[in-house]
Amino acid sequence: MMYPYMTFADETEIVHSHIIEDNGVQRVEVHFERPTEEGFDMARCVLPTYTWIRREGFTDQEISKFERFLRSNAHLLYRYAAAGGIKIA
């Protein structure tokens, strides 16, 4: 299950998984997706290792920006992943 987190001004949508237990480590997968004329650019990162497991269409500079974003939002992503997504009235 993926939960919506945020959409940037360039229409890049960010969604995250629930908490995934893997050998005693709690991880969260964060997916970035942006529409293009040909389909979508996409990238997926696994926290807490910040390992990029998929990447198509985004530049190195954009991936660096996403990684900075993740490092400052990881605590919230874990909180919302544990809660089943952001609860909005």
pLDDT for the residue numbered 1: 86
The pLDDT value recorded for residue 33 is 98
What is the pLDDT averaged over residues 9-30? 96
The answer on pLDDT for 88 being more than 80 is: no
Rounded to an integer, what distance in angstroms lies between the CA atom of residue 16 and that of residue 34? Answer: 15
Burial class from Cβ neighbours inside 10 Å (0-12, 13-18, 19+) for residue 89 reads: exposed
Note the pLDDT tens digit of each residue in 27-80.
Answer: 999 999 999 999 999 999 999 999 999 999 999 999 999 999 999 999 999 999
What is the reported pLDDT for 87? 76
